[in-house]
């Protein structure tokens, strides 16, 4: 059996009882480590914390392993129980859907254990989940690559009065272009896009496209370390959020669409300069 287990968003304790039971009976445990990260990371003490709670040695599965050696993982799952751990919910990334498709092709049994993900945890800011349009991803710009395919989706969402969740780029164990050209992989340091960088890039695209999808005065909500004890949530205009230090990753951004009074009342508690709702234990 292949168990695909969601870990939630905060730390090692966010795993469900059903998920923990599945992990404890598996012979091999893999941890996907490139579409998202837990708040304490996956190196050093962070990994040890997971292993101590789950009682299992954990193999970190980077992008290369999941995309190029998935059949090896599935071959193990044909003869023993294997757990594949995913931050958030198992289907928060298309990579994990591909793993299920491959498993079905190879006739490997799959059980999924769901958990909280950014897709529903953003409801904490008060914007109703059923009023969101298509989610977009904002990639890091480079000197030679400045894509803007997300712009059209945001524009359509805004025209329909819908909110837009923007997932911000994560670069973990990415080979540099120079090393690929030389035929020898050398990995760049990890990079995590901040809300500030995302807004700068969004405004650059708006200036280039000029279709009035949004501007500096457009209302947004910035989220940092969502689901963790020290999560930070700030509502304000793009201009206001540019001046906020959201601290450590991971970050995401919501571009606000048309709101109703209850949403506005909830957002008011997070307005820039007023602080966030206190979610910490007393």
Task: Tell me the binding residues.
Answer: 9, 89, 92, 117-118, 168, 226, 251
CA distance 227 to 224: 9
Q: Show the tokens assigned to 50.
A: 């997971």
Strand partners, 137: 167
CA distance 63 to 70: 10
Q: Which residues contact 187 (CB under 8 A, 6 or more apart)?
A: 173, 174, 175, 176, 179
Give backbone dihedrals phi and psi of 179, rounded to 5 degrees, phi first: -70, -35
Residues that constitute the known binding site for S-adenosyl-L-methionine: 9, 89, 92, 117-118, 168, 226, 251
Instruction: Assess contact for 136 and 213: CB atoms under 8 A.
Output: no
CA distance 46 to 228: 14
Q: Which of 235, 254, 260 is nearest to 120 (CA)?
A: 254
């Amino acid at each position: 059996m292949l168990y695909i287990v969601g870990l939630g968003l905060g730390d090692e304790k966010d795993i469900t009882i059903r998920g923990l039971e599945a992990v404890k009976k598996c012979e091999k445990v893999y941890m996907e480590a490139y579409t998202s990260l837990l708040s304490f990371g996956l190196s050093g003490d962070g990994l040890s914390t997971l292993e101590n709670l789950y009682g299992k040695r954990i193999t970190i599965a980077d992008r290369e392993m999941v995309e190029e050696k998935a059949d090896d993982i599935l071959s193990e799952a044909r003869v023993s129980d294997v757990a594949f751990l995913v931050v958030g919910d198992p289907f928060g990334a298309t990579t994990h859907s591909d793993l299920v498709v491959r498993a079905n092709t190879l006739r490997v049994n799959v059980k999924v254990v769901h958990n909280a993900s950014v897709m529903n945890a953003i409801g904490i800011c008060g914007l109703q989940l059923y009023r969101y349009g298509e989610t977009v991803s904002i990639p890091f710009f480079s000197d030679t690559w400045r894509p803007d395919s997300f712009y059209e989706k945001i524009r359509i969402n805004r025209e329909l009065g819908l909110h837009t969740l923007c997932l911000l780029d994560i670069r973990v164990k990415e080979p540099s272009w120079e090393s690929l050209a030389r035929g020898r992989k050398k990995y760049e340091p990890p990079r995590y896009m901040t809300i500030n960088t995302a807004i700068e890039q969004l405004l650059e695209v708006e200036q280039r496209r000029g279709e009035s999808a949004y501007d500096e005065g457009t209302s947004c909500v910035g989220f940092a370390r969502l689901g963790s004890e020290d999560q930070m949530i700030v509502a304000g205009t793009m201009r206001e959020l540019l001046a906020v230090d959201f601290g450590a990753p991971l970050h995401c951004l919501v571009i606000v669409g048309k709101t109703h009074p209850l949403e506005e009342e909830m957002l008011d508690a997070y307005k820039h300069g007023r602080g966030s709702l206190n979610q910490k234990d007393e």
